[in-house]
Amino acid sequence: MDFAFTPRQQELAARARAFADEVLLPLEQITDEHGEVPVELREGIRQKVRDWGFAGINHSKENGGLGLSMLEQTAIEEQLGRVTNGLWSCVWRPPVSLKFGTEAQRERWLRPSCAGHRRGAFAITEEGAGSDPRQVQTRAVKKGDQWLLTGVKWFVTSYNASDFVIVHAHVDGDPDKPTLFIVDKPSFTEAPPTVTHLRSPKFMHNFAFDHAELEFRDTPVPEDALLGSIGRGFELTKDWFVEARLQIASHAVGAACRAAEVANDYAAGRQQFGRPIRDFQAIEFMLADMAVEIFAAKSMLYRVAWEIDQGLDRKLVHAHASALKLHCSEMAGRVIDKALQILGGRGYMRENPVERLYRDIRVDRIWEGTSEIQRVVIAGQIRKRGFGTFADIGGAP
Ligand SMILES: Cc1cc2nc3c(=O)[nH]c(=O)nc-3n(C[C@H](O)[C@H](O)[C@H](O)COP(=O)(O)OP(=O)(O)OC[C@H]3O[C@@H](n4cnc5c(N)ncnc54)[C@H](O)[C@@H]3O)c2cc1C
């Protein structure tokens, strides 16, 4: 077994770290105070993403991306996860489902998205449909040579940085026909408008972009903007779930590392009762527990990324990605909570990155499948395939 990063993986991780430190870190305070990345800074940041060589990190070269392996992507994402306020999302990741589009669709939406000239948001969640997407009420009805979409979507992340939205709707309102439609934003503003931006509520974190609520009212979508085929909506998003769960796990590990480093430095310098607080076993044991948690999570992260690159069976990949997302998101919650405790009152100040990480990381136990849903997936796999799914010797393909 070889656990070492190749020189190329090391270079990518080092470059991503430098990008995070030099480009994203200076934006943290301003994003927190402003509530999102100020609009006037966005084009400059996009250009820096291109200049630093991070345009299209999650797609093949054929589709305009960088053609990186999952382990290479993970090496980058982990470093981006160190920054607060969801600034990792300044590096775009075009929706994975677009790779299943026709050549014309990939040319129109995917390749320009990889280059950062377009951006797509993804809308599946609704007021009554969260963990259970079969409850989706948004319907698509065929009229002449186009589809008409009607429904309300919630939590559409990065809507205000996007120029198209991939909408998950049920054809004829039939939950057995989940289907994806690409809706271009310009059509939102045509008269009369058929898509309304209802609002972008405030959340616990101050994120780089918004999370919008959108209402579709007989929104016309041409036939050639249906992605895949009728009824394949879930099939096309399955790969995306795996990728998104790995991204969350990578960001969680990066966030936990940064918080632990800040706490470790502080514990060495902060004097109380005449000595550094690190000399109190209560503090040093917290640091020890944090290190062990990160060590375990990081090992798991690289392993699952490596398994994907080795072509592990898709169902096993799905199970392992769930386990990884669950473990890393909960690990980061525990580690950052301890980091904040070590920092005392300073850790509770908004100007401290650990305070922001504490708020940022909470959503990782909710989006892309809550912790409970990950446990449902994991338990289902154990029931179907046995404990070996997670505990076989060697475990890999
Ligand atoms: C900041 C943010 C950004 C988001 N971005 C997007 C986006 O871009 N696009 C998008 O489509 N969605 C997005 N979401 C939605 C997100 O994916 C959902 O919030 C998530 O799937 C959970 O759905 P819910 O919030 O409706 O909770 P619910 O499904 O109502 O769950 C409520 C509680 O019940 C539990 N629960 C539900 N079912 C079960 C079960 N079977 N067993 C045990 N417990 C269960 C849950 O774990 C949770 O604790 C975003 C959410 C947030 C907070």
Statement to judge: residues 252 and 384 lie in one domain: yes
211 CA closest ligand 1 atom index: 3
> Which pLDDT does position 3 carry in this prediction?
84
Asked, as a colleague might, if the bond just before 192 is cis with ω within 30 of 0, I would say yes
123 CA closest ligand 1 atom index: 11
Given a cut of 60, whether residue 182 has pLDDT beyond it is: yes
Chain length of the chain: 397
Contact 138, 151 (CB under 8 A): yes
Statement to judge: residues 181 and 321 lie in one domain: no
> Which pLDDT does position 88 carry in this prediction?
98
Minimum CA distance residue for ligand 1 atom 25:
130
Statement to judge: residues 274 and 300 lie in one domain: yes
Which of 126, 155, 236 maximizes ligand 1 atoms within 8 Å of its Cβ, making it the mutation to test the pocket?
155
Statement to judge: residues 262 and 324 lie in one domain: yes
Minimum CA distance residue for ligand 1 atom 27:
130
In angstroms, the CA 346 to CA 354 distance is 9
Per the annotation, the verdict on 103 as an active-site residue is no
Locate 97 and state its tokens.
């489902």
Distances (CA, A) of 26 to 29, 33, 87, 359: 7, 13, 10, 19
**Final residue of a domain: which of 201, 227, 253?**
227
Q: pLDDT > 90: what percent of the chain?
A: 92
* Reported confidence tier of residue 241, pLDDT bands at 50, 70, 90: confident
**Final residue of a domain: which of 182, 202, 227?**
227
In-domain check, residue 396: no
Q: Express each pLDDT in 66-75 by its tens digit.
A: 999 999 999 9
Statement to judge: residues 296 and 376 lie in one domain: yes
> Which pLDDT does position 106 carry in this prediction?
98
Catalytic one among 190, 284, 368, 372? 368
How many angstroms separate the alpha carbon of residue 249 from the centre of ligand 1? Answer: 17
Structural domain range at position 182: 120-227
205 CA closest ligand 1 atom index: 1
Q: What is the mean pLDDT of residues 331-351?
A: 98
How many angstroms separate the alpha carbon of residue 130 from the centre of ligand 1? Answer: 5
Q: Mean pLDDT score of the chain, rounded to an integer?
A: 95
Pairing of strands 120-123, 146-157: unpaired
Q: For residue 161, give the H/E element and its range.
A: none
Q: Express each pLDDT in 290-334 by its tens digit.
A: 999 999 999 999 999 999 999 999 889 999 999 999 999 999 999
Minimum CA distance residue for ligand 1 atom 48:
370
Statement to judge: residues 163 and 82 lie in one domain: no
Statement to judge: residues 215 and 262 lie in one domain: no
Q: The domain that contains 220 carries what CATH number? A: 2.40.110.10
Q: Express each pLDDT in 360-397 by its tens digit.
A: 999 999 999 999 999 999 999 999 999 999 988 665 54
In-domain check, residue 53: yes
Q: Express each pLDDT in 257-297 by its tens digit.
A: 999 999 999 999 999 999 999 999 999 999 999 999 999 99
Q: Which residue has the higher pLDDT, 126 or 1?
A: 126
How many angstroms separate the alpha carbon of residue 156 from the centre of ligand 1? Answer: 12
Count of Cβ atoms closer than 10 Å to residue 120 Cβ: 25
Q: For residue 196, give the H/E element and its range.
A: strand 195-199
* Reported confidence tier of residue 2, pLDDT bands at 50, 70, 90: confident
Q: The domain that contains 266 carries what CATH number? A: 1.20.140.10
> Which pLDDT does position 393 carry in this prediction?
65
* Reported confidence tier of residue 179, pLDDT bands at 50, 70, 90: very high
Which of 366, 368, 378 maximizes ligand 1 atoms within 8 Å of its Cβ, making it the mutation to test the pocket?
366
**Final residue of a domain: which of 56, 84, 114?**
114
How many angstroms separate the alpha carbon of residue 349 from the centre of ligand 1? Answer: 29
In-domain check, residue 397: no
Query: Which residue bears the tokens 């998950």?
Result: 168
Statement to judge: residues 61 and 151 lie in one domain: no
In-domain check, residue 2: no
Query: Which residue bears the tokens 């669709």?
Result: 105
Helices within 310-370 (DSSP H only): 314-343, 353-360
How many angstroms separate the alpha carbon of residue 155 from the centre of ligand 1? Answer: 10
* Reported confidence tier of residue 242, pLDDT bands at 50, 70, 90: very high
Q: Which residue has the higher pLDDT, 283 or 235?
A: 283
Q: The domain that contains 73 carries what CATH number? A: 1.10.540.10
How many angstroms separate the alpha carbon of residue 366 from the centre of ligand 1? Answer: 6
Statement to judge: residues 258 and 347 lie in one domain: yes
Q: Is 271 left (phi over 0), alpha (psi -120 to 50) or beta?
A: beta
Domain count, the chain: 3
Amino acid residing at 208: A
Q: Ligand 1: residues whose CB is within 6 Å? A: 122-125, 130-131, 155-157, 203, 211, 363, 366-367, 370, 372-373, 376
Statement to judge: residues 250 and 216 lie in one domain: no
Statement to judge: residues 262 and 317 lie in one domain: yes
> Which pLDDT does position 187 carry in this prediction?
67
In-domain check, residue 302: yes
370 CA closest ligand 1 atom index: 47
Q: 251 CB contacts (<8 Å, ≥6 apart)?
A: 77, 78, 80, 81, 88, 364
DSSP secondary structure string, 204-261?
SS--SS-EEEEEEEEEEEEGGGEES-TT-HHHHHHHHHHHHHHHHHHHHHHHHHHHHH
Statement to judge: residues 124 and 80 lie in one domain: no
Sign of CA dihedral 228, 314, 238, 91: negative
In-domain check, residue 136: yes
Minimum CA distance residue for ligand 1 atom 30:
130
Minimum CA distance residue for ligand 1 atom 35:
372
Q: Express each pLDDT in 45-67 by its tens digit.
A: 999 999 999 999 999 999 999 99
In-domain check, residue 278: yes
In-domain check, residue 1: no
Which of 125, 200, 203, 368 maximizes ligand 1 atoms within 8 Å of its Cβ, making it the mutation to test the pocket?
125
How many angstroms separate the alpha carbon of residue 262 from the centre of ligand 1? Answer: 31
Given a cut of 70, whether residue 188 has pLDDT beyond it is: no
Q: What's the count of helices (H) and strands (E) in the chain, helices before strands?
A: 13, 10
153 CA closest ligand 1 atom index: 11
Q: What is the mean pLDDT of residues 5-27?
A: 97
Express the helix, strand and coil content of the chain in percent, nearest 5 each: 55, 15, 30
